[in-house]
Amino acid sequence: MALAIMCSGGDAAGMNPAIKKFVDYAYKKGEEPYLIYRGLEGLIDGKIVKAEHRDVAGILHRGGTIIQSSRSKRFFEYQFREQAYNNLKKHNISGLIVLGGDGSFRAMDRFSSEFNLNFVGIPSTIDNDINGTEYCLGSDTALNVIRDALDKIRDTASSFNRAFLVEVMGRDCGHLAIVSAMASGAEICVVPEIEFESEALGKRLRKEVENGRHYALAIVAEGTKKTTEIHKWLQETVGLETRVSILGHIQRGGNPTVRDRLMAFDFTITAMNHLLNSTNSNKVVVYRDGEFKLIEIEEVVSTKYKLPKRYLDAINLLD
């Protein structure tokens, strides 16, 4: 059986460990592994190459993805989806693994509904915002990058009478912001899922400033689009001189953490075992309740991801 793997959408640490395990395990099972370069764009353009062990040697510790990724407007047009399918058939590829996020799975859901495609998705996004799974590849590495930055920022914040506002990624999901706030001891966390209670929090912080608080750390999720507003509020309402740091794309990079390497191992083995025993799969591997499971892609794309209640409750416990 010929199998292929590709990355789609934003890159995430953990993709390279998954790619390596895919190639090594395919050969162990006597199958032919193919790498699709540049994601959906590469699938359309036929950038499909048979993989050898040497292609994935020494990549386990590397962030990003050696086969690159892309977002594709062309894939929204049927003629290019048909071209992509024909490219798979040229190589007799009967099974496809896609490392990606919600948008990638929506694209594959449409693709597999039109063509005879044996497909399994592996949730791979630092945002950790895919419905049906508690964990997505790359989120732990991103959180550790953010934690390292916040620890350093707190060092300088505590040296002055100053607040620091740090904007983190996460699109419309506050996972990175909330977990980072909990892990760093931030006093303020602003996420899309919860209305920012500026009046009550401002009253508390002003009192603390009067009683000697000389610095504070605020985490703001990019999806709120409130970075400028919170900056102004901290300075004018709370009374703390405030600096803004936007971490940006450093959150996507870095060597995969142990957890991301181990999760990549199990995600990939689960996906491949299913492909080797299926002829008409349209599923996504998920991790929940301490187990790896396969669920229909419709379940993944039909409902928006919701943060666990314990994380939302944690917003009110920061101090």
Q: Residue 161 — pLDDT band, cuts 50, 70, 90?
A: confident
Q: Are 102 and 243 within one domain?
A: no
Question: Which residue out of 102, 127, 129, 140 is catalytically annotated?
Answer: 127
Q: Are 11 and 42 within one domain?
A: yes
Q: Residue 317 — pLDDT band, cuts 50, 70, 90?
A: confident
Q: Are 229 and 147 within one domain?
A: yes
| pTM tops 0.85, yes or no | yes
Which has the minimum average pLDDT: 63-67, 216-220, 312-316?
Answer: 312-316
Return d(Cα 275, Cα 259) in angstroms, integer: 24
- Please, which residues have CB within 8 angstroms of residue 121's CB and are 6 or more apart in sequence? 97, 98, 99, 100, 104, 105, 108, 271, 283, 284, 285, 297, 300
Q: Are 146 and 98 within one domain?
A: no
Residue 310 domain-assigned (yes or no): no
State the average pLDDT for the chain: 95
Say yes or no to pLDDT of 46 above 80.
yes
The CA-based dihedral angle spanning residues 57, 62, 63, 67, taken in that order and rounded to the nearest 10 degrees:
-20
Does the active-site annotation cover 127?
yes
Q: Residue 209 — pLDDT band, cuts 50, 70, 90?
A: confident
For 116-131, write each residue's pLDDT tens digit. 989 999 999 999 999 9
CATH classification at residue 273? 3.40.50.450
Say yes or no to pLDDT of 227 above 90.
yes
Q: Which domain holds residue 167?
A: 140-252
Say yes or no to pLDDT of 211 above 80.
yes
Return d(Cα 166, Cα 154) in angstroms, integer: 11
Q: Are 81 and 170 within one domain?
A: no
Q: Are 43 and 180 within one domain?
A: no
Say yes or no to pLDDT of 89 above 90.
yes
Say yes or no to pLDDT of 197 above 90.
no
How many domains does one find in the chain? 2
Return d(Cα 19, Cα 65) in angstroms, integer: 8
